[in-house]
């Protein structure tokens, strides 16, 4: 790589980061629905045509911010995941990392788990980043199934075909009963986090850390994970 080419590449990385940082400030101040490429360009002292060379449309910028948010969340959860711990405690650690990230990044959390942005549909390119936490939870259940074992939940006959379809899609080596429980636990995890981030626990739950740990422990038990010896 020539010196000039390397300098251009570094400059592009720096400008792209500056655009994203300003867009995140706008998300915090105005919300995703009001994100404007023109406003971002104005705040950065750029002409709009120059910014379009980095992000051709608002949707392209939103997609980049969404992938960044999912990746940041996923990195936090993965950093908390400890292969040496028993599956129950690993589950708790991952869930607590999700909560911690959301409380530290409420506007980015709102972007990926809040109200849909009018006129925007997330493309398939967001899926790998969005799946990182879910894959961690599936992996914990898989390890328990292959190791100490799972206390399998019940599975109604009416859900068996749906469980078989889901298992083929993302968890073929996990018992069917556990697959449906994992999907329910994944949804409930983000319900717990969203209630706290968006203020629904105000004047209701005071010791939220203890409440959350208890609640996600119940989710762990629901997928068949049992606490190890104290």
Digit-coded pLDDT (tens) for 26-51: 999 988 989 989 999 999 998 888 89
What's the token pair of residue 20? Answer: 């994203």
**The two structure tokens encoding residue 188:** 């409930």
Mean pLDDT, residues 17-25 taken together:
94
Q: How confident is the model at residue 229 (pLDDT cuts 50, 70, 90)?
A: low
**Mean pLDDT computed over 64-80:** 97
In this prediction, residues 74-79 reach a mean pLDDT of 96
What is the per-residue pLDDT for 148? 83
- Summarised one tens digit per residue, pLDDT across range 173-214 is 999 999 999 999 999 999 999 999 999 999 899 999 999 999
Global pTM? 0.92
pLDDT score of 45: 92
CB under 8 Å to 192, separation ≥6 — which residues?
99, 212, 215, 216
Tell me what pLDDT residue 5 has: 61
Cα 184 to Cα 79: distance, rounded to the nearest angstrom: 24
**Burial grade of 89 (CB within 10 A; 0-12, 13-18, 19 or more):** middle
CA distance 149 to 174: 11
**Mind listing the pLDDT tens digit for each residue in 117-171?**
999 999 999 999 999 999 999 999 999 999 888 998 999 999 999 999 999 999 9
Query: Which backbone phi and psi does 218 adopt, to 5 degrees?
Result: -65, -35
Give the mean pLDDT of the chain: 92
H/E stretch holding 21 reads helix 3-30
Cβ–Cβ under 8 Å, residues 100 and 76: yes
CB contact set of 1 (below 8 Å; sequence gap of 6+): 9
60 pLDDT higher than 60: yes
Task: Please tell me whether residue 52 adopts helix, strand or coil conformation.
Answer: coil
Number of C-alpha atoms within 13 angstroms, CB side, residue 78?
11
pLDDT above 80 (res 3): no
| pLDDT for the residue 85 | 80
How far lies 151's CA from each of 88, 90, 180, in Å?
12, 17, 14
pLDDT of residue 173: 92
Query: Which of these, 167, 174, 187, 180, lies nearest to 140 by C-alpha position?
Result: 174
Specify whether the backbone of 119 is left (phi greater than 0), alpha (psi in -120 to 50) or beta: left
């Amino acid at each position: 790589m020539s010196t000039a080419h390397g300098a251009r590449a570094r400059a592009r990385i720096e400008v792209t980061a500056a655009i994203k940082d300003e867009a995140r400030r706008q998300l915090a101040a105005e919300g995703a629905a009001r994100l404007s490429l023109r406003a971002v360009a104005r705040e950065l002292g750029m002409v709009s045509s120059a910014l379009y060379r980095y992000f051709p449309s608002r949707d392209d910028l939103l997609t980049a911010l969404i992938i960044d948010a999912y990746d940041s969340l996923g990195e936090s959860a993965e950093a908390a995941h400890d292969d040496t711990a028993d599956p129950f405690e690993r589950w708790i650690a991952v869930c607590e990392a999700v909560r911690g990230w959301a409380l530290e990044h409420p506007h980015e959390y709102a972007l990926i788990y809040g109200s849909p942005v009018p006129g925007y549909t997330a493309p398939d390119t967001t899926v790998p980043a969005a799946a990182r936490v879910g894959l961690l939870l599936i992996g914990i259940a898989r390890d328990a199934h292959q190791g100490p074992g799972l206390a399998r939940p019940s599975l109604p006959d009416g859900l068996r075909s749906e469980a078989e379809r889901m298992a083929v899609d993302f968890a073929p080596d996990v018992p069917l009963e556990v697959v449906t429980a994992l999907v329910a636990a994944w949804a409930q995890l983000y319900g717990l986090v969203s209630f706290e981030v968006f203020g629904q626990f105000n004047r209701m739950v005071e010791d939220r850390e203890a409440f959350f740990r208890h609640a996600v422990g119940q989710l762990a038990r629901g997928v068949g994970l049992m606490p190890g010896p104290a």
